[in-house]
């Protein structure tokens, strides 16, 4: 009897382990699946919650949670319920919902890294419906847009003082620009690299945020480097000046950017 109980216990333990075993997938900087963990910038972990629900979590290279959602199958496209994304400060950056057909449905909200509201609206069966609002980074209302069956009916833009303003060249999307052009930016970085005295080969990626004031923040390097070298590079990028902010929907927005450094 004891032997049978032990076998049953081991079987249940093994079954539980199999049920909770994670499926891990690595993605490179191009969003492609890779088998090389050291080249991964995103790590996806999938676990079975029950017979009809799977949990998908994606982590940044430093093991920081970036997003999670649920699916009815192991297919990440069949989303259901709540999907939550996180910013670099581990704060929630957006929340949206999916119905049983895997379509966006219900309230959508997003936030800036300073915790001010970014945008809000509602989806109905995968389509924008009704009033959508966008806000400035500093918190003021930036625009109102009315949608019908995912079609834009009308849109109105506002200044930070609340006055209606005309649609301008920044109403859609404009990427950040460096004064003097990207070639000048590269020359500035290359000039700095010549001051470094390290025998390193290969390449690394420096990730950072270009703020609405043009300053670089959240400078980070996930690649393995000597600590003093990593700190020198981070300090250098933190002090770079010359970036002009990007725009989305008529307002200045923080943008994520990266720079690849090649060591010879």
Please give the structure tokens belonging to residue 56: 């998908």
Quick one: three-class SS letters along 201-214? CEEEEEEEEECCCC
Query: Nearest to residue 70, comparing CAs of 84, 58, 56?
Result: 56
CA distance 208 to 189: 14
The pLDDT value recorded for residue 2 is 43
- Can you give the residue ranges of every domain in the chain? 17-77, 100-167, 177-263
Per-residue pLDDT, 169 = 65
Residue 167: its pLDDT value, please? Answer: 79
Interatomic CA distance for residues 80 and 82, integer angstroms = 7
pTM (two decimals): 0.85
pLDDT for residue 88 is more than 90:
yes
Average per-residue pLDDT for the chain: 90
Residue 74 has pLDDT above 90, yes or no: no
pLDDT exceeds cutoff 70 at 179: yes
Q: What is the pLDDT of residue 38?
A: 82
CATH architecture of the domain 177-263 equals 2-Layer Sandwich (3.30)
Q: Does 158 have pLDDT greater than 50? A: yes
Instruction: Report the distance separating Cα 42 and Cα 64, nearest Å.
Output: 10
Residue-level pLDDT at 67: 98
Distance CA 235, CA 229 (A): 10
pLDDT band at 224 (very low <50, low <70, confident <90, very high): confident
pLDDT surpassing 70 at residue 86 = yes
């Amino acid at each position: 009897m004891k032997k049978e109980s032990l076998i049953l216990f081991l079987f249940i333990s093994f079954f539980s382990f199999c049920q909770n075993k994670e499926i891990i997938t690595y993605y490179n900087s191009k969003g492609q699946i890779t088998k090389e963990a050291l080249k991964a910038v995103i790590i996806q972990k999938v676990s079975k919650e029950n017979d009809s629900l799977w949990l998908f979590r994606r982590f940044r290279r430093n093991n920081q949670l970036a997003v999670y959602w649920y699916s009815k199958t192991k297919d990440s496209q069949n989303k259901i319920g709540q999907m939550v994304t996180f910013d670099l400060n581990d704060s929630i950056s957006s929340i949206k919902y999916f119905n049983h057909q895997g379509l966006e449905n219900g309230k959508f909200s997003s936030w800036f890294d300073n915790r001010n509201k970014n945008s809000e609206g509602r989806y109905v069966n995968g389509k924008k419906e009704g009033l959508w609002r966008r806000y400035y980074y500093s918190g003021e209302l930036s625009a109102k847009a009315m949608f019908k069956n995912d079609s834009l009916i009308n849109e109105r833009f506002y200044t930070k003082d609340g006055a209606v303003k005309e649609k301008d060249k920044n109403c859609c999307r404009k990427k950040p620009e460096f004064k003097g052009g990207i070639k000048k930016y590269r020359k500035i970085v290359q000039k700095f690299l010549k001051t470094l005295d390290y025998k390193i080969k290969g390449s690394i990626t420096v990730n950072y945020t270009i703020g609405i004031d043009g300053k670089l923040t959240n400078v980070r390097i996930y690649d393995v480097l000597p600590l003093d070298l990593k700190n020198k590079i981070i300090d250098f990028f933190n002090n770079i000046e010359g970036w002009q902010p990007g725009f989305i929907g008529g307002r200045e927005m923080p943008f994520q950017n990266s720079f690849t450094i090649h060591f010879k």
